[in-house]
Amino acid sequence: MKTLYFITGSQDLYGEETLAQAERDGKEIAEYLSAQLKGIADVIACPIVRNSTEAEDICIKASADKDCIGTIFWMHTFSPAKMWIKALQANRKPMLHLHTQYNEKLPYSTIDMDFMNLNQSAHGDREFGFICTRLGIKREIIVGYYKHTSVINKIKAFAQAAVAVDFGKNLKLAMFGNNMRDVAVTDGDRVEAEIKYGWNVNYYGIGDLCDIINAVTADEVSVKMTEYHEKYTFTTDNTQAVEEQARYEIALEKFMQREKISAFTDTFEDLHGLKQLPGLSVQNLMAKGVGFGPEGDFKTAALAAVLYKMSEGRKGATGFMEDYTYDLTENEQLELGAHMLEVSPVFADTKPEIQVHPLGIGGKADPARLVFDGVKGDGIAVSLVDMGNRFRLICAEIELVKQPQAMPKLPVARLMWKIKPDFETGAAAWIYAGGAHHAVVSTALTADDIRLYAKLTDTELVVIDDKTDIAELETHLEMLDCIANMKK
Ligand code: MN
């Protein structure tokens, strides 16, 4: 299990008795949080920190601990902040400053100076906060009594973002083929992606996969077909085409296991040795949390895996999506998202059907794919683009809606959504910000989760929501360019 270090700050001034009490209180809070964060991370109480050496030691320990995904700081008493400088410089883990108290209520009838000495987070956390700000440290500040539901929910969101950051640091991604010829937004700096996020992105020849596909046995295919029958409705007699996809999925699973890979891309321009474009196989893998990006879009594939990880345990769906076409009926504009084949069945509102149809692009045999109508509800669309001197995340709030009419001739899975704050503003904002035609859509995560992820990874972020105004957005984008050029 991954861990969060809970670090309680104090100083030598108060005597052994007060310090022992402060340590016990910190331990109690850590244990409470640990129970609340069950399944996400264990919260480990650290010994009380009294001076610069202890502060630095615990942050060095946290930074070197591969299981540690983040650090939580809380100043129970006053804790002079110069003693935190070297510690904060050493801390390499996502950081939460929890501004809370051991006591919820003020004990009006008994409060005395001993109580004041022990319980002065209002004082100590401000001193600590100043040095974080002075050092330019990116951190999340959560304020409130630690047992309150709203506070716990925020701490959970921090922990899940920290899990996602940690997951990214160990993420290996395979690109079968390169990115689609001449496409700009799917391309990008793979070295920078590893420096910034830890994503290890490597090219593999499609032939490496074909060798495994050709060695798949009939028994293995039979097991996979049973899985498909359990999950999906077959509306095709072309069993052979479905079995072909089963072979792809089995081979991809073997390959990913062997190479410890959790996200991949492919491209219809490089399918040498494959009879079909992988469709059903990719879709079934996406539903298991495998990150996927088509046309060599490694950024979207990695982001899909990372955001899926962040959403674990929550209700809702997360996966790759492509902006495709619109219904431009005045004041009722809707967007239709889909792809040639690869839409994750986590988005299905109806039981997905396995269908086999020709594919206009790629010149291959008719591929099997899952077809369904998409879920409804509030969601976000998130795009990661390479601006040349930095990455930018764009997060748009959307409302997924029921498709107004059936689309009997459209043989792919699709989602429909309303753009916020309104169609004209939201679509223009996305395009001004440089948002891609590929995104990760999630009904499990919110814009606040993406804000947190952007903060913890120090990534530039543009949010498009109910408050978006084009004039303000354009100024904001210019400012972001200025800041990035200053940093260069
Ligand atoms: Mn595409």
- How far apart (Å, rounded) are the C-alpha atoms in residues 392 and 462? 8
- What is the model's pLDDT at position 123? 96
Tell how far the Cα of 208 is from the centroid of ligand 1, in angstroms. 23
> CA-based Rg of the chain, rounded to a whole angstrom?
25
Tell how far the Cα of 374 is from the centroid of ligand 1, in angstroms. 18
Nearest to 455 by CA among 56, 97, 100, 44: 97
pLDDT tens digits for 388-432? 999 999 999 999 999 999 999 999 999 999 999 999 999 999 999
Q: Between 286 and 15, whose confidence is greater?
A: 286
- What is the model's pLDDT at position 308? 98
Sheet-wide strand order for 291-293: 200-204, 172-176, 263-265, 291-293
Tell how far the Cα of 294 is from the centroid of ligand 1, in angstroms. 6
pLDDT tens digits for 121-163? 999 999 999 999 999 999 999 999 999 999 999 999 999 999 9
Tell how far the Cα of 63 is from the centroid of ligand 1, in angstroms. 39
pLDDT tens digits for 353-389? 999 999 887 788 999 999 999 999 999 999 999 999 9
Tell how far the Cα of 247 is from the centroid of ligand 1, in angstroms. 23
Give SS3 for 192: helix
Q: What is the pTM of this model?
A: 0.97
Average of per-residue pLDDT values in the chain? 97
User: Count of CB atoms within 10 A of residue 288's CB?
Assistant: 11
Residue type, 227: E
For range 276-305, the mean pLDDT: 97
pLDDT tens digits for 44-54? 999 999 999 99
Tell how far the Cα of 297 is from the centroid of ligand 1, in angstroms. 8
Identify each DSSP E strand in 298-430 by its residue range. Answer: 318-327, 334-338, 353-356, 368-371, 377-386, 391-401, 414-419
- What is the model's pLDDT at position 177? 94
Judge whether residue 488 has pLDDT over 80: no
Tell how far the Cα of 435 is from the centroid of ligand 1, in angstroms. 13
